Structure 1
């Protein structure tokens, strides 16, 4: 298996903070978002290579970081330049994956991640779930009640017995479900090959967006492949997409830690949905 880390965005919402530094290399509590991913991927021996996909603007930043020993991992690290230099000519998330697959000549199992979130779950647990589903394509997420959050990303309707996703929408106007999906995907080899079919459909102008959630939504909607949902509760996946979130990340992490501690110390058990204030509890 190879892990593909999407780092070709421009993080314009973070202003001057990412003017000369890619978001993936910003640090949270002394560790970059990218290193947080690498630490987790080191726990999965089946992953033999990590492919970092950068835009042209920040390609040298990643090469320099690797050369300076700021990518600590036991995996082979390949850094690719997708050749784009602005939001206007970007390839899009799935487009970058297709570019990387073609560049390295790969059609096997793939793990696709973004490097701009803080999280406290273990990626190895999601990988074990994937293996337990006989290498069933897997996305992760958690129960969410905020309609604003649900409208802003991929939303799944899940069979509670099998964890199979019955419907999946990316940025729905009216959410059909309460499971918000994170930008993290594990695909078996057969499904990895279908990324090129998806891109061909997209190029025909079939109203397909470039967010990473559009591909699994296409798989489910068109019966191309089964996709399963891994619930990360009581853990968290925090999208650090604004300056306010980044500057308050220590407070957010403290809140998340207290939620997890409370969850495991409560004999009745409780589920949490991280809302805009990161403290909403769903009983």
Structure 2
């Protein structure tokens, strides 16, 4: 199994913080956001390589980060390899979008493995083992991660998903005015090897950048064609979209870690 961390965005809404630092390398509770993702990935026994796809502007930043991380003895003992991939884009206007980046990596690396995909700014407090086991149990279908945000007004900011009693996706709305659910997609996907070619099929039909940019658009296209299953997470999930939400996430996550440390 391979993992792909999406980190090729330019995060202009977080300027000036992200003018010279990519969002996944911003620090939360003293550590880069992406390090918390790596911590979760290290516990997946079937995983042997992590791809981080970024842009040309921040490629050097991630290469330096990966080099430092690989020197860490705790990381070395896991036997994982981190491969940083440059998608070649240099500006916000030239980006190829999240789905474009997924296809870029699949093609660039000639992938034929199951692929776990995560947003590089996905900050959450749970492990991924249950999601992996659930996803493997539902192969060869695609599985997505959902979070119950429990607030319709908040849900309207995201891709909103409705599922049936078998946890199969029955509806997907991208930032709806009136959400029919409070379950939101959180840029966490398990694509079995048999389904990787569907990304290319989607991109041949969807040419506009907005259709390539929000990864949820792929699920919206896919679920009417074949079964897509969902795993609903419980815990804390932090969405970092602007400077205020970044500061809130830093404060809340720092508090969460402090409480967790006291319980040990």
Alignment deviations for residues 2-55 of structure 1 (CA, whole Å, 9 cap, x no partner)? 111100011111112111111111121222111111111111121111111011
Matched, 1:230 2:231: yes
Do the aligned partners of 1:13 and 1:242 also contact (CA within 8 Å) in 2? yes
Do the aligned partners of 2:144 and 2:229 also contact (CA within 8 Å) in 1? yes
The alpha-carbon distance between structure 1 residues 124 and 80, as it changes in their structure 2 partners (threshold 3 A), is same
Do the aligned partners of 1:25 and 1:32 also contact (CA within 8 Å) in 2? yes
Q: Number of residue pairs matched?
A: 255
Instruction: Tell me what 1:54 maps to.
Output: 54
Greater relative contact order (CA < 8 Å, ≥ 6 in sequence): 2
Instruction: Tell me what 1:215 maps to.
Output: 218
* Shift, 1:71, TM fit: 7.7
The alpha-carbon distance between structure 1 residues 170 and 236, as it changes in their structure 2 partners (threshold 3 A), is same
Instruction: Tell me what 1:154 maps to.
Output: 159
Instruction: Tell me what 2:136 maps to.
Output: 131
Q: Which structure 2 residues correspond to residues 35-54 of structure 1 after superposition, within 5 A? A: 35-54=35-54
Instruction: Tell me what 2:174 maps to.
Output: 170
* Shift, 1:256, TM fit: 6.0
The alpha-carbon distance between structure 1 residues 206 and 44, as it changes in their structure 2 partners (threshold 3 A), is closer
Distance 1:75 1:174 in 2: 43
The 4+ residue runs of structure 1 with deviation greater than 4 A are 254-260
* Shift, 1:259, TM fit: 11
Give 5+ residue unaligned stretches, structure 1.
261-283
Do the aligned partners of 1:236 and 1:256 also contact (CA within 8 Å) in 2? no
Matched, 1:195 2:199: yes
Distance 1:228 1:195 in 2: 17
* Shift, 1:258, TM fit: 11
The alpha-carbon distance between structure 1 residues 257 and 69, as it changes in their structure 2 partners (threshold 3 A), is closer
* Shift, 1:254, TM fit: 6.3
**Given the two structures, how large is their TM-score scaled by the length of structure 2?**
0.88
Matched, 1:3 2:8: no
Give 5+ residue unaligned stretches, structure 2.
none
State the secondary structure of the residue aligned to 2:43: coil
35-44 vs 251-260, greater mean Cα deviation:
251-260
Matched, 1:68 2:72: no
Matched, 1:79 2:84: yes
Q: Which structure 2 residues correspond to residues 77-156 of structure 1 after superposition, within 5 A? A: 77-156=82-161
CA RMSD of aligned residues (A): 2.4
Instruction: Tell me what 1:270 maps to.
Output: none
Do the aligned partners of 1:110 and 1:189 also contact (CA within 8 Å) in 2? yes
**Given the two structures, how large is their TM-score scaled by the length of structure 1?**
0.82
* Shift, 1:143, TM fit: 2.6
Distance 1:126 1:41 in 2: 12
